[in-house]
Every structure is written in structure tokens, then in C-alpha cells.
Chain A
Amino acid sequence: MTLSAPARWALRAVMALGLTFIYVPLLLVLINSFNGDRTFAWPPHDLTTRWWSAAWANEGAREALLTSIRAGLGATAIALVLGTMIAFAVQRFAFFGRDTISLLVLLPIALPGIVTGIALDSAWRSVMGDLGIGKGMFSIIVGHATFCVVTVYNNVLARLRRTGTNLEEASADLGASGFQTFRYVTFPLIRSALLAGGLLAFALSFDEIIVTTFTAGPGVTTLPIWIFNNLFRPNQAPVVNVVAAVLIVLSVIPVWLAQRIAGPQAGAGRT
């Protein structure tokens, strides 16, 4: 669309304002990680690096980070498998109730987290509790996977719609087995969609707190729960800022990697 120069400038200004809006609070987090005041008095009256050394020595934070990564990877793996299966079923077959499936997949994330959380919690207690399986890492992964399926499903479905089935039919015509066709034709086609969906699934899981609050067993601390427990303790709150600042910086790595592997599509996957 041919936009007038003022229109372009206006859009550019909006973009700049929007990015400022997004990044000013993050900048504040970064500055506060050096703020000598324990409850972030503003403006900072002295600067210190002691929170950074305290965070470095904080085993609880490191363990929580590992727990979150494990939970995120577990949930993402399940979401990748389930999401892809549903996407294939919906795109390649016509069956009764197909329209309802997209609604069903969406439901866990569309309903408020607190509802999903208490539903899973009470079901877990009454069913799994009787089987002697307490809440812990497994229940966190189950909870997260439930609402992560939708990100993979959406990305894969969109990709399948775009690519059609010609290449797969050609592969079959040339004598490839179903497995070979999947391995050499279908999978490469959907790889970047899987990456995009998986990345979003991981991000959703990684920062989830409400569902986790209800599905985590007492002994398992994910990073958001660790942050929740520590943000409200004055001696620990500045350490939380450090952890958050580190996360922001580290987060560039998976996003950048995904972009490198899959091209610009990946990072921009649909939610």
C-alpha cells in the first residue's frame, strides 16, 4: 500500500512509542538490580553489585531455573506430539466434530488460568491421589502441556494449509513408504512451524504462575513460584530483579537461535 510520507512517519513514531512502552519497565528492572535500596526506592540513592553476587550464590534460584526448564521441555515435548497429531487429523481428514476440535484445543488457554488450575488440582487429588501419585513435576508438566497444545496446533495447522498435499502424494507415487514420506517430505515442511509452536509453548510454560500454583506439589519450585516466594521478602526482592534481568538477556538466545534455524517465520509464530 502506498502510504504518504506523514503516514509512514506516524507509524514509525507509534512503533517507537510502543517499544518504549514495552522496554521502560524492563529497563527499570535492570536498573533496580543495581539499586542499593531493598524495596526499590525511586530514584535509586546508591548503586551496588551485591544483589548480583547474592543471586550468583543463590542455589534456590538456580534449582528453580532448572526445574522450570525441565517442566518447560516436558510440556513442550507433549504439546509438540499432541498438537501435531490434532493438526494432521483436522487438516487431512473430514470427520464429525472437526469444527469443535479447534475450540476444544483452545479452551485450556482461553479459560482463566485459575479455573484451569483448580479444575486440574481437584481432579488430580481425587483421581491420581487415590492411585498414590502425588503432585510434583509430573502434574506441572501435565498442566502446562494442556494449555501449550494450542500453540503447536495453530502453527502446524497453518503450515499444512499452506503447503497442501502435492509433495506427499508425489513422494508416495515415487514409492516412498509412509514413514519415508514423513521423514523426508512432511517433516522438513513443518519443521519451522514446529519450532515456532514449540518455542511459544516453552515460553508460555516458562512464565506460567497461576496454573502452576495449583498443580505444583509442595516440594517443586518453578522459577515463577520461586520469584513469587521471594519477591515478597524484602531481603530477597532485589535478587529477584537480578534473576529477571538475566532472564531477559538470556531469552534472546532461544529466540535468536530459532530465527537462525527456521528463518524469520519461527519467532513470529502465531499464538
Chain B
Amino acid sequence: MRSGRILLAALAAGVLTLAGCGDDGGDPAGSGPGGLTVPKIDELAALGAGEGVVNVVSWAGYVEDGSTDKSVDWVTGFEKETGCQVNNKIAGTSDEMVALMKTGEYDVVSASGDASLRLIYGGDVAPVNTDLLSNYQDVFEGLKNKAWNSVDGVPYGAPHGRGANLLMYRTDTVTPAPTSWSAVFDPASPHKGKITAYDSPIYIADAALYLMKTKPELNIENPYALDDTQFQAAVDLLKQQNELIGEYWSDYTKEVQAFKAGNSVLGTTWQVITNLTKADGAPVEAILPAEGATGWSDTWMVSAKAQHPHCAYLWMNHIISPKANAGVAEWFGEAPANRLSCAETKDPNHCATFHAEDEAYFAQVWYWTTPLARCVDGRTDVTCKDYAAWTQAWTTIKG
């Protein structure tokens, strides 16, 4: 999931764009970005008995039944308890998730921030009656009713977990310790050739976030909504940064190994990578820099055409239940969505390490959202760069 995650977020771009295409031009102006309408779909009114089966689309590692590791299993118990047999289909990309959900054969999906809006505006997922999810009340408020999982205050899913893209450095070589993203953008950096960055177009948002704080004259309001000038500034910054980069990373084995060997000494990371690197004995630390950071959050959503809606609700309630949510959060290394999960993790410090309960921490995080031509910050007087443009720019940045 982790390795796919970045891509996914980026992929979501396609999702968002799709959100706009409900019915090629025939839509009247509505409440969505740029005047899109959310198809009217009823939420489930009452919870009944399970249908015996639930068909799930998920990221690898979100639905573990013990086949990868006997001790990693939050599916078997659910099946016994509810009688809902879980058929899991792992999707590799957000596009694949959307395509699978469009077939109508699946009941629930673990959608990333870039796919969720596409699903909502495409009429593929239904609003969620959170009264039927007994565990929803324990979900952190900071994850409820956000731009990527609700429309006009109507929730479309159960939040699953979250994380931030931090700045990691080797404590033995990088002194003094960095406090700002300027450390990875400084053309005169003493660590030239040993700086690393995330290998995905979505990383352009990291540069935009830095410019948002350091170049106020650009008026960047949201790092995922960039008009021509703002976008060009971010791209130029990254081209300049390319001179400093040793390698871009895209999966965590690669990054852990690079930091341990010293090929990389400074760059973006996830909390889980930092933990693994430390556990393997390398002197590293990770910080949330002064400018804040980008991050991600996934949401479980239920299909508008679900054939097993009751089992789907049972599953959603199960996966955000304290124990299961703790299991997933630890297996993947992210902050759980349910506050009670923090008492259930095998590592008692898991929530502290991943800042799960620290809303001030996550308030500084800009969650991955797919950039669209319709600016996601609500501006209507300009056209923003969409994800396809971000991808092409990423190519020129890497050269």
C-alpha cells in the first residue's frame, strides 16, 4: 500500500477530473467544484442481517486474513462473527479502484483522497449513514467531514487512517538539525548529491507548500490548486532542487536502505520509514518542518449499487473498530482513525509515534488531493494545472 500510495494520490487526479464529467456537459450547475452536481443517492436507513458476503476493493495490506503473516489477521474474526465472507480484490491504482467500483460488483472500497471525489461525483458511492456505524463516534474529529470524504456536510465514508510526509535527516552528518524545508531546496546545500525526494508528480505540492510560506507574493492558497504562475514557480524550484538530488525514492525499502548506507542523508519520508531506519540502527530523525507538510488520508466508502449493503456496513464498522483499526495502522505504519485504537496497538507508543491524537500536528498537513483544471481552492477566474500537466512537468524536472 505504501509504495502504491504516492502514485495513488497522484492518480486521484484522474479521479477528480472524472468528477467533473458526470454527463458530458448536460449537468446543471450544482454544489461541486466548478458547478458539478452530486447524484442523489439514498443512504442506508437501517441495519439488517448480513447477506453472507461482502466484496471489497482495497489497497494491498488493508485487508489481511493471515495469508501474509499468521499474526496479521483482522478478517477471519469478522467473518466468523458476522457470517459475511470477505472477498477482497487488491487494486494497484486509484484509477483501477474507480474502474472496479463502476462495475457495480463491489460493495466497499478504501479510496484515497484522489479517488474519493471522483467516486462521489460519478455516483458510484452512496452517502454513509454514520448512525449505523457504532465506531464512527470514536473517529478523530480532524478526519470527519473533510473535503475529500464529504460534500456539503454529508459524509460519504468512514475515515481509515492518515499520515504526513516528513523531513528525515541523518543526525551524524546533517548539523545543525534542519527545521525548515529550506534544507532540501538550498542551492548551496553542503549535502548536494545526498538529498532525496519523493518520486511522483504529487511532490510538486511540497514545493508549492514551501513557496506558499516563503513567497507570499505568489498568493498560493492551496498547494494542489496552482495557476500558471504559481505552477511555474514550483517547477522552477524543483528544477533547481534536481541539482541537489542523489536519487528520488518511491518505495520504502529503497529509502530505508539509502539512509542506512548513507546514499541519502536528507529528504522527505514517512514516519514508518523513519521508525524502520532507526530500528535498524541508523542515526536518523524526522521532523514536521515549520512550513507544515503534505500528507494522505484514506476513506472506506460504500457502493451506490452495493448488493450486500448490510455486510458492507458491518465491514466498515469493523475496519474502523479499535482493534482492527489498530491492526491496520501498525501493519502499515500510519496514524489510526479511531481514537480508541491507541489502547489496542501492540506497541503502546504507536499513537504517540505517529501523532495520532495530535490535532495541532495534523492541522499543518495538506492531504493529497488530485489537482484539477477546476481549481480545488475554489477560484473560478483562473484555470489550474491538472494532474496530467503535473506529470509532464515532473518529467521535465527530472530531465
A and B touch in the complex (CB under 8 A): yes
Identify the A interface with B (CB < 8 A): 37-42, 54, 57-60, 63, 134, 213, 218-219, 221, 229, 231-237
Question: Is B91 an interface residue when CB atoms closer than 8 A count as contact?
Answer: yes
Question: Is B389 an interface residue when CB atoms closer than 8 A count as contact?
Answer: no
A38 cross-chain contacts in B, Cβ below 8 A: 256, 276, 279-280
Smallest distance from the beta carbon of A131 to chain B beta carbons, Å?
14
Query: 11 A-B Cβ contacts within 8 A?
Result: A39-B257, A39-B260, A54-B69, A58-B68, A59-B67, A59-B68, A218-B57, A229-B60, A231-B251, A231-B253, A234-B253
Cα distance A221–B261 when bound, in Å? 32
Smallest distance from the beta carbon of B315 to chain A beta carbons, Å?
18
A221 cross-chain contacts in B, Cβ below 8 A: 90
Cα distance A231–B252 when bound, in Å? 9
Smallest distance from the beta carbon of B91 to chain A beta carbons, Å?
5
B260 to chain A: closest residue by CB: A41
Tell me whether B2 and A232 are in contact (CB under 8 A).
Answer: yes
**Chain B interface, >50% SS class:** mixed
B60 cross-chain contacts in A, Cβ below 8 A: 229
Smallest distance from the beta carbon of B276 to chain A beta carbons, Å?
5
B80 cross-chain contacts in A, Cβ below 8 A: none
Cα distance A218–B66 when bound, in Å? 20
Smallest distance from the beta carbon of B346 to chain A beta carbons, Å?
13
Tell me whether B260 and A232 are in contact (CB under 8 A).
Answer: no
Tell me whether B67 and A234 are in contact (CB under 8 A).
Answer: no
Cα distance A38–B260 when bound, in Å? 11
Cα distance A219–B261 when bound, in Å? 36
Smallest distance from the beta carbon of B280 to chain A beta carbons, Å?
6
6 A-B pairs with the lowest CB-CB distances in the bound complex, closest first = A232-B251, A59-B67, A232-B3, A39-B256, A39-B257, A219-B89
The number of chain B residues with a CB under 8 A from chain A is 29
Identify the B interface with A (CB < 8 A): 2-3, 57, 60-61, 66-70, 89-92, 96, 100, 103, 251-254, 256-257, 260-261, 276, 279-281
A234 cross-chain contacts in B, Cβ below 8 A: 252-253, 256, 276
A45 to chain B: closest residue by CB: B281
Tell me whether A218 and B90 are in contact (CB under 8 A).
Answer: yes
B61 cross-chain contacts in A, Cβ below 8 A: 233
- With A39-B260, A219-B90: A60-B67 Cβ-Cβ less than 8 Å: yes
Tell me whether A233 and B257 are in contact (CB under 8 A).
Answer: no
Cα distance A88–B250 when bound, in Å? 48
Tell me whether B253 and A218 are in contact (CB under 8 A).
Answer: no
Tell me whether A233 and B260 are in contact (CB under 8 A).
Answer: no
B261 cross-chain contacts in A, Cβ below 8 A: 41-42
Smallest distance from the beta carbon of B216 to chain A beta carbons, Å?
38
Tell me whether A218 and B92 are in contact (CB under 8 A).
Answer: yes
Smallest distance from the beta carbon of A42 to chain B beta carbons, Å?
8
A37 cross-chain contacts in B, Cβ below 8 A: 280
B91 cross-chain contacts in A, Cβ below 8 A: 218
B276 cross-chain contacts in A, Cβ below 8 A: 38-39, 234
Contact partner of B96 among A40, A42, A218, CB < 8 A?
Answer: A218
Cα distance A40–B257 when bound, in Å? 8
Smallest distance from the beta carbon of B231 to chain A beta carbons, Å?
27
Tell me whether A39 and B89 are in contact (CB under 8 A).
Answer: no
Tell me whether A233 and B280 are in contact (CB under 8 A).
Answer: no
B88 to chain A: closest residue by CB: A219
Cα distance A232–B252 when bound, in Å? 6
Smallest distance from the beta carbon of A86 to chain B beta carbons, Å?
34
Contact partner of B68 among A39, A134, A232, A236, CB < 8 A?
Answer: A236
Extra contacts, 5 of them, besides A229-B3, A232-B3 (Cβ < 8 A), are A38-B256, A41-B257, A218-B90, A231-B253, A234-B252
A219 cross-chain contacts in B, Cβ below 8 A: 89-90
A42 cross-chain contacts in B, Cβ below 8 A: 261
Smallest distance from the beta carbon of B27 to chain A beta carbons, Å?
26
Tell me whether B3 and A233 are in contact (CB under 8 A).
Answer: yes
Tell me whether A60 and B89 are in contact (CB under 8 A).
Answer: no
B3 cross-chain contacts in A, Cβ below 8 A: 229, 232-233
- With A40-B257, A60-B67: A233-B96 Cβ-Cβ less than 8 Å: no
B1 to chain A: closest residue by CB: A233
A228 to chain B: closest residue by CB: B3
Smallest distance from the beta carbon of A225 to chain B beta carbons, Å?
9
Tell me whether B100 and A232 are in contact (CB under 8 A).
Answer: no
B90 cross-chain contacts in A, Cβ below 8 A: 218-219, 221
Tell me whether B68 and A60 are in contact (CB under 8 A).
Answer: yes
B60 to chain A: closest residue by CB: A229
Tell me whether B252 and A41 are in contact (CB under 8 A).
Answer: no
